[in-house]
Chain A
Amino acid sequence: MASKAEARSIGQRLLAAFEAAGAVEVTPDILQPAEALLDLYGEDIRARAYVTADPLRGEMMLRPDFTVPVVQAHMAEGAEPARYAYMGEVFRKQDHRGAARVAEYFQAGYEVFDREDPEAADAEVFALFAKLLKPLALSATIGDIGLLRAAVEGLDTLPARKAALARHIWRPKRFHRLMERYAGLSPMPESRAALLAGARSDAPWIGLRTPEEMTARIAVLQADAATAPIAAEDVARLDALFALRCTADRAPAQLSDLGIAALAPAIARLERRLAALDARGIDLTALAFEASHGRATMEYYDGFVFSFETADPGFPPIASGGRYDALTRVLGGGREIPAVGGVIRPGLVADLGGLA
């Protein structure tokens, strides 16, 4: 493995390149408030953060990534449009052994907050990363969580079902089980049937959850049971969408062929993004598109997603990123700004021989 000094030196070069592209360096604290910020991450990062107690500031954590503190700083005081860069350590507990599974590593990142032309900003970040990583001959994959969200939103069924499915886009197993339930493809559990027939427990009420919360959920289940199942052909179309993989140049046509009307605006955005990538010299015939890319791993991304990987399966992605508009809404207290960015791991770049 590369030494920390090598990794840091590559990180500094990446930082300089990000600054040359117009970014201002930001240096968030290593110690971040835990309670408020941890809630914003998905289960994975949340479980892996090092949390400690501070006598004055309460629960603090070693920063598990930069995006959330950078968004927070921007929402508090940033002017628009803004481009930020950073380089430093992040800390994540590792549940598994293995040389690439380090608990402390560098990230060099670039984030763009610009509401003028989101697809151009997507292309700007991706093309910058592609140029910097070119000597490593990595394979790049792009996806778009926005397509998946649009397809779910376009289903002809109860809003409550769509909300439950949208919540689990990032958890494929639960998503598909729910889809089977709503499509009537899996048998109703006996306990659910009994509940709907009026069965109630006579155990004493304990705990913080209230009887009203139970009543509200039973009403949701009753409304669900009274609604027609999601049509089998709609389920099949969604399955085909989730399984779609092709080269980026063919993605819009293949997506249109799925016959999901609700996808049209998201496909138009994808076409604009691809045109912007093409204009920046990205070869779309050599770029992989996967509709489910980032689904299981990148919870706060809600639009464009990308990663750069090496052929060695022992390596995690060398670089990854995407669009996280919803995160800015949560941190902005009512305000929001389209935001896209990504990180490169300088330590992994060093392991692969450096930037040449």
Chain B
Amino acid sequence: MSAIKLGVPSKGRLMEQCFDWFAARGLTLKRTGSDREYAGAVEGAEAVELVLLSAGEIPRELAAGRIHLGVTGSDLVREKLADWQTQVADLAPMGFGHADLIIAVPACWSDVDTLEDLDAAAHAFRAAHGHRMRIATKYHRLLREFLAREGVADWQSVDSQGATEGTVKNLTAEAVADITSSGETLRANHLKILSDGMIHQSQATLFAARSADWAGLEAPFAVLCEQLGVAKPLL
């Protein structure tokens, strides 16, 4: 018999909070086998199969329809999937894994607090240095869409997959667009958040894949949605 494949993060606090969220709704998710083996089981629901995945891979697995449901950050879905609403349905925000995708600049820039300031500073910077103001990020799509919508010019993104807050001091970028929860790492690296630089407020979210094969799974999906207390989406 086919089953609804549920993809959840395979390790760490995100996995534990995810297990807790389902447990509170009567579904016991657990890892099986040894600590290092990524196998899982579901108790308390018919026809649901657990798939443990890296949180970063879950958007792609949803888009490909290889899993039916998946838990991942709303930021990752927006960044990795073009026109994300056409590929996945947003079932429920889960209330954990909160992180804000923000734009931060050096705290020493007394004259820059808003996007209007950033745009003006970027224009003068380009004239003085011969290249656009560089913003280090791994969220290229979200940053580009945000700054295009806000009408900020004379910037370019540079790729940074880690230690992004250090790029300004290392002279490989002038500003950063990164996720933060407390802002402590930013402050430690002498950066400050633009007052209107909030790109996206992310949290762990349960998504359903539109392109997955739902044939024969409509009934168990309806039961599952009711058990989880979420509205069954049109897929």
Contact residues of A: prevailing secondary structure:
helix
Q: Do A191 and B113 have beta carbons less than 8 Å apart?
A: yes
A250 interface residue (CB < 8 Å to B): no
Closest to B187 in A: A203
Roughly how many angstroms separate A173 CA and B169 CA in the complex, as a whole number? 32
Which residues 91-124 in A have Cβ within 8 Å of B in the complex? 94-97
Q: Contacts A95-B141, A97-B86; is A217 near B195 (CB within 8 Å)?
A: no
Interfacial residues of chain A within 203-217, with CB under 8 A of chain B in the complex: 203-211, 213-214, 216-217
B side interface size, CB within 8 A: 41
Residue of A nearest to B125 (CB): A209
Contact among A96, A164, A195, A205 for B108, CB-based, below 8 A: A205
Q: Which residues of A contact B190 (CB under 8 A)?
A: 203-204, 206
Task: Point out the residues of chain A lying under 8 angstroms from B171, CB to CB.
Answer: 207-208
Measured CA separation A217–B109 after assembly (Å): 11
Interchain CB contact under 8 A, B108 and A203: yes
Asked whether A221 and B111 contact (CB < 8 A) given A168-B153, A175-B151, the answer is yes
Asked if B168 and A207 sit within 8 Å, CB to CB, the answer is: yes
A174 at the interface (CB under 8 A from B): yes
**Chain B 129-142: CB-based contact to A (< 8 A → 1; otherwise 0):** 10011000000010
Please name all residues of chain B whose beta carbon is closer than 8 Å to the beta carbon of A47 when the two chains form the complex: 144
* Interface of B (DSSP majority class): mixed
Contact A213:B108 (CB < 8 A) given known A96-B83, A175-B151: no
| B121 near A209: Cβ-Cβ < 8 Å | yes
- Of the candidates B107, B125, B145, B151, the one whose C-beta lies within 8 Å of that of A203 is B107
Which residue of chain A has the shortest Cβ distance to B126 in the bound complex? A39
Q: Are B174 and A168 in contact (CB under 8 A)?
A: no
Cβ B116 vs Cβ A178 within 8 A: yes
Give the residues from 144 to 183 in chain A that come closer than 8 angstroms, CB to CB, to chain B.
Answer: 164, 167-168, 171-175, 177-178, 181
CB <8 Å contact, A201 and B151: no
Within 8 A of A (CB), among B88-126: 106-111, 113-114, 116-117, 119-121, 123-125
Contact (Cβ within 8 A) A174 B151: yes
Interface residue ranges of A188-202 to B (CB < 8 Å) = 189, 191-192, 195, 199-201
Contact with B109, one of A44, A46, A201 (Cβ below 8 angstroms): A201
Among A96, A172, A199, A214: residue with most chain B CB under 10 A: A214
Say which residue of A43, A96, A164 sits within 8 Å of B82 (CB atoms): A96
Which residues of A are interface residues toward B (Cβ below 8 A)?
Answer: 39, 43-44, 46-47, 94-97, 164, 167-168, 171-175, 177-178, 181, 189, 191-192, 195, 199-201, 203-211, 213-214, 216-218, 220-221
Give 8 A-B contacts (CB < 8 Å), ordered by A residue.
A46-B156, A174-B151, A195-B113, A200-B110, A203-B106, A203-B108, A204-B190, A213-B124
The 6 closest A-B pairs by CB, nearest first: A174-B151, A191-B113, A203-B107, A171-B151, A203-B108, A173-B151
Known: A173-B151, A206-B190, A214-B108. 19 other contacts (CB 8 A): A46-B156, A95-B82, A96-B82, A167-B123, A171-B153, A172-B151, A178-B116, A191-B113, A192-B114, A200-B110, A201-B107, A201-B110, A203-B106, A206-B168, A207-B169, A207-B171, A211-B108, A213-B124, A214-B111
